[in-house]
Amino acid sequence: MTIHREGYPSIIITILFSALLNFITHFFFAQYPIVLWLGYALSAFLLIIILQFFRSPKRTVVINANNIIAPADGKVVVIEQVMENEYFNDKRLQISIFMSPLNVHINRFPISGIVKYVKYHPGLYLVAWHPKSSTENERTTLVVKHANGQEVLFRQIAGAMARRIVYYPTPEDIALQGNEFGFIKFGSRVDLLLPPSVKVKVSLQEKVRGAETVIATFE
């Protein structure tokens, strides 16, 4: 397992903070072994948390033009028909995946095709499961047009802990199913807005794996 490049700054900051913490405990509390050990434990805990958050495990991507795969690890928290007003201005099937701080936070293309739309929206930091987080939180909207002519919209949505959304594509880029398109730091969710005609392959509360779990299939 490797560490994602988005994690390097956070890891460096954590190491520097841990070094400062250990220096302070040694300088001021050397006569109190329990304080020294608490300092060591806190430093180790923070480093382990940061390393696991930015882990980048290998995934086996089986490219299938008929499948729409999970763009992220997490749990399915929404499956419902909604009115999509940013791009389509019509009804779409929304499937939302909530990522806890313990999940891998790499985001991957759910389908192959051409990137037709990319837009970043500054916003609030409501908890990621809040109904208004899809439209009021900091977020990025991307749309990919499939070879079959259908388009899939997906949003990276910041949560209460997230403060930075990273996305890589620009309009007219080629999207390859399973490849990385971005990263969200520290808790968040991804919404998929799909054609209503798709056949859903997941259920509410189901845990999914990015680039591997089939979310739906085109009909």
Catalytic residues: 188
Q: Are 103 and 213 in contact (CB under 8 A)?
A: no
Q: Any idea which residue has 């799909």 for tokens?
A: 194
Per-residue tokens: 214: 């089939």
Nearest to 128 by CA among 103, 93, 110: 103
Per-residue tokens: 153: 């919209």
Q: Are 148 and 194 in contact (CB under 8 A)?
A: no
Q: Which residues of 15-43 are buried (b: 16+ CB within 10 A; e: fewer)?
A: eeebeebeeebeeeeeeeeeeeeebeeeb
Give me the numbers of helices (H) and strands (E) for the chain, helices first please: 3, 16
Run of H or E residues at 123: none
- What is d(CA 101, CA 95) in angstroms, rounded to the nearest whole number? 20
